[in-house]
Amino acid sequence: MSRVWAVAMNTIAQGLRMKLAVIVVLLLVILLPLMGVVMIGDGTLKGKLQTFVSYGLSLTSLLLCLLTIAVSTHTLTSDIKRRQIYLVITKPVRRFEIVCGKLLGVVLLITFLLGIFTLIIYSLTVSIPRIAKADAAQLEQVNEEFFTSRETLTDPVDEVRIKEQAIEEYRRLKENRQLPDGLSSKRVLFELEAKYRGIATNVQVGASRRWVFENIKGLDPDETIFIQYKFGVAVPRPDDKVYAVWDIGDDRQLKLDPSERKTDIMRAQKIDAIRVVQEFQVPAKVVAEDGYVSVVFHNPVQNQTTVIPQDVKVLYRSGTFTANFIRSVLLILARIIFLAALGVSISTWLSFPVAILICVVVFFAGTVNGFIVDSLDGLSMVAAIFYSVTIKPILWFLPQFDGEFSPAPYIIAGESIGWLFLVRIFAVTVLLKAALLTLFGIFIFHKKEIARITV
Amino acid sequence: MVSENSQFAIETVSLTKVFPDWWGRAKVVAVDNLDLQIKHNEVYGLLGPNGSGKTTTIKILLSLLHATKGSAYVLGGSSREAKISSRVGYLPEESYLYKYLTARETLDFYGRIFGLAAKTRKGRIETLLDMVGLAPMANRAVGTYSKGMARRIGLAQALINDPDVLVLDEPTSGMDPIGTRQMKDLILGLAERGKTILLCSHLLADVEDVCDRIGILYGGRMQMEGPVDSLLQKTDETQILASGLSSSALEKIKSIIAAEKADCSITSPMDKLEDFFIRTVSEAQRRKEPTSGAVNSGEISGFLKEEHAGSDDVLEKLVNASVDEVVSAEVEATTTEVAEVAKKANKSVLDELTQSTVADVESESPRPTVPLDDEGVSTSEIKEDVLNKLIGESRDE
Q: Where are the domains of chain B?
A: 3-228, 239-395
Residue contact B115–A13, C-beta within 8 A: no
Asked if the model's pLDDT at residue B347 lies above 70, the reply is no
Whether A5 contacts chain B with CB within 8 A: yes
Closest chain A CA to residue B159: A91
Residue contact B113–A93, C-beta within 8 A: yes
* Cβ-based contacts of B20 with chain A (< 8 Å): 454-455
* Of A5, A85, A449, Cβ closest to residue B65: A449
Q: Give the model's pLDDT for residue A73.
A: 96
Q: Give the model's pLDDT for residue A215.
A: 84
> What confidence tens digit (pLDDT) does each residue in A429-454 have?
999 999 999 999 999 999 998 887 76
Lowest-confidence segment of A129-138, A316-325, B28-37, B264-273 by average pLDDT:
B264-273
Whether A66 contacts chain B with CB within 8 A: no
Q: Give the model's pLDDT for residue A318.
A: 83
Element (H, E) at B390: helix B379-395
> What confidence tens digit (pLDDT) does each residue in B159-212 have?
999 999 999 998 888 787 788 888 888 899 889 988 999 998 877 877 888 899
* Cβ-based contacts of B119 with chain A (< 8 Å): none
Q: Give the model's pLDDT for residue A357.
A: 96
> Above pLDDT 90, what percent of chain B?
30
Task: Look at the alpha carbons of A336, A342, A347, A351 in this order and tell me if their dihedral is positive or negative.
Answer: negative
Q: Give the model's pLDDT for residue A444.
A: 95
Q: Give the model's pLDDT for residue B316.
A: 42
> What confidence tens digit (pLDDT) does each residue in A92-142 have?
999 999 999 999 999 999 999 999 999 999 999 999 888 877 788 888 888
Q: How confident is the model at residue B305 (pLDDT cuts 50, 70, 90)?
A: very low
Q: Give the model's pLDDT for residue A371.
A: 76
Whether A92 contacts chain B with CB within 8 A: yes
Residue contact B112–A5, C-beta within 8 A: yes
Higher pLDDT, B288 or B101: B101
Are B206 and B175 contacting, i.e. CB atoms less than 8 angstroms apart? no
Distance CA A134, CA B364 (A): 109
Whether A1 contacts chain B with CB within 8 A: no
Q: How confident is the model at residue B348 (pLDDT cuts 50, 70, 90)?
A: very low
User: In CATH terms, is domain A204-319 a member of 2.60.120.260?
Assistant: yes
Q: Give the model's pLDDT for residue B16.
A: 93
Whether A13 contacts chain B with CB within 8 A: yes
Q: Residue A291, by phi and psi: left (phi above 0), alpha (psi -120 to 50) or beta?
A: left
Distance CA A57, CA A63 (A): 10
Residue contact B64–A93, C-beta within 8 A: no
Closest chain A CA to residue B157: A87
CB atoms within 10 A of CB B317: 10
Distance CA A178, CA A172 (A): 8
Q: Give the model's pLDDT for residue B244.
A: 64
Asked if the model's pLDDT at residue B102 lies above 90, the reply is yes
Q: How confident is the model at residue B269 (pLDDT cuts 50, 70, 90)?
A: low
> What are the residue boundaries of the structural domains of chain A, listed by start?
2-148+321-447, 150-201, 204-319
Q: Domain B3-228 is in which class?
A: alpha beta
Q: Give the model's pLDDT for residue B342.
A: 41
Residue contact A454–B19, C-beta within 8 A: yes
Regions of chain A short of the pLDDT cut 50: none
Asked if the model's pLDDT at residue B293 lies above 80, the reply is no
**A402 vs A68, A376, A409, CA distance in Å?**
18, 16, 10
Mean pLDDT, residues B287-296: 66
**B354 vs A291, B384, B393, CA distance in Å?**
124, 9, 18
Q: How confident is the model at residue B260 (pLDDT cuts 50, 70, 90)?
A: low
* Of A3, A90, A449, Cβ closest to residue B115: A3
